[in-house]
Amino acid sequence: MTISDTRNEMAVDKAITNGLKQFSEEDLFLIYDEAVFFHARRWSTNKIRNRNVKHDPRDILKIERYQEFKELRNEVVEKLKDLRIICRIERVFINVKRRKEFSIPLNHLHAIKNDKRLCSFTFNYIKNMNKNGDPKFYINNNPYMQINHLIMSENIIISHRFSTRIKDSQKNFITKIKKLNNEKNLNEKNFNEWAYTYLINNNSEFGDIDYYPVNKKERSDLIIYFLDYLSCFKEKDYGNLTNNLYRAWTQKKFRDSNKTNKNSSPQIPKNVQKKLKEISKKINRTEEEILSELISDKYRELMINRS
């Protein structure tokens, strides 16, 4: 590498660093999209002009896997470096600024950023509103990132309509959904594991979810995010499922309680149980009262003899 090449590389790095300072992490998807489009348009023999065929869709699928903006930023930097010339990089930043004028205001996104449950609900709300066919449940580890990816990948640039969707989802979530799906139910001992298995076995849509929680927190999040989605888009199914879910849980607790009581009680031989029942009928007293009296009498007898 010559001195000239080194200087040019340093200048490119500086242009990228300074350019990225003008944007928030939420803009990284747009920057990536513009960089890929610019590169594809430059090298295409067909002189691509239509954004619908702007680049290989695998590029977009590739960045969907990122769960943190820091990882995505590294990918964006590499895509910008591929352009090699400063004026091309600056053109990308100019194009992003223009697209942002027609995109959702950043403060509307920040309003939901720190509530992962609300982000998950909002993502499902946006994906399913005005959608033809049956609703579908979506889940990932970073729903806020995926909302930003959705804005870019589906080219959502009608800011008023999209902002209204987010506000609608927040209002619907806060006033209705969050009250229905109270998280305290999931904090009952053993409910988390039991409910996860119950839903897999009794709800085909839940059983088909291509997501596998690795700990109690992820399992709990999955259950409540799914119930949030269901209560909004399949209200009848939600009512039936939750009624059956909590009824089955109550029955399980009752059965477990009976097992505990039986295990903690002394086992009486069948022939003695038969005699106890006959005594109970003849003297019109419960079996518990009879046993209690016999034990008390025997205890007093032992105490007297001991003294």
Same-domain status, 252 and 140: yes
Judge if 37 and 157 occupy the same domain. Answer: no
Q: What is the CB neighbour count within 10 angstroms for residue 10?
A: 10
Residue, of 108 and 244, whose pLDDT is higher:
244
Confidence band for 126, pLDDT divided at 50, 70 and 90: confident
What is the pLDDT, as a whole number, of residue 203? 94
- Segment among 86-95, 169-178, 279-288 with least mean pLDDT: 169-178
* Domain contains 263: no
Mean pLDDT along residues 144-173: 70
Res 45: pLDDT: 44
**Same domain flag for 150 and 250:** yes
Q: How many structural domains are present in the chain?
A: 3
Q: Which pLDDT score, from 0 to 100, does residue 109 have?
A: 83
Q: What is the pLDDT of residue 52?
A: 46
Q: What is the pLDDT of residues 202-219, one digit of tens each?
A: 999 999 999 989 898 899
Output the CA–CA distances (angstroms, integers) from residue 135 to 7, 145, 230, 255, 298, in the order listed. 54, 21, 9, 37, 69
pLDDT score for 60:
53
CB 259 within 8 A of CB 252: no
Are 96 and 217 in the same domain?
Answer: no
SS3 for 134? coil
Q: What percent of the chain has pLDDT over 90?
A: 21
CA distance 195 to 223: 8
What confidence tier does 139 reach under pLDDT thresholds 50, 70, 90? very high
Is pLDDT above 80 for 23?
yes
- d(CA 256, CA 194) in angstroms, rounded, equals 13
What are the structure tokens assigned to 22, written together?
Answer: 């003008």
Which of 15-19, 29-33, 102-106 has the weakest average pLDDT? Answer: 102-106
Given 67, 83, 101, the domain boundary residue is 101
275 and 239, same structural domain? no
List of E strands, the chain: none
Do 136 and 249 fall within a single domain?
Answer: yes
Residues 148 and 247 in one domain: yes
Does 32 lie in the same domain as 116?
A: no
Q: What is the pTM of this model?
A: 0.69
- Band (pLDDT 50/70/90 cuts) for residue 48 is very low
- Tell me whether residue 87 is in a domain: yes
Give the model confidence (pLDDT) of 34-46 as tens digits.
Answer: 888 877 665 554 4
Asked if the structure places residue 265 within a domain, the reply is no
- Mean of per-residue pLDDT scores for the chain: 79
Q: Is residue 189 part of a domain?
A: yes
Statement: residue 131 has pLDDT above 90: no
State whether 13 and 80 are in the same domain: yes
Same domain flag for 208 and 131 = yes
pLDDT of 291 over the 50 cut: yes
- DSSP string of 114-125, one letter each residue: T-HHHHHHHHHH
> Is the pLDDT confidence value at 294 over 50?
yes
C-alpha to C-alpha distance for 226 and 181, rounded to whole angstroms: 10
pLDDT tens digits along 227-244? 989 988 898 999 899 889
The reply to whether 264 falls in a domain is no
Select from 74, 101, 128 the last residue of a domain. 101
Q: Examine residue 149 and state whether it is found in any structural domain, yes or no.
A: yes
Range of the domain at 205: 109-258
| Domain endpoint, select from 101, 122, 142 | 101
In a domain, 254, yes or no: yes
Least confident of 75-89, 153-167, 180-194: 153-167
- In this structure, the answer to whether residues 158 and 33 fall within a common structural domain is no
Tell whether 119 and 251 lie within a shared domain.
Answer: yes
In this prediction, residue 223 carries a pLDDT of 92
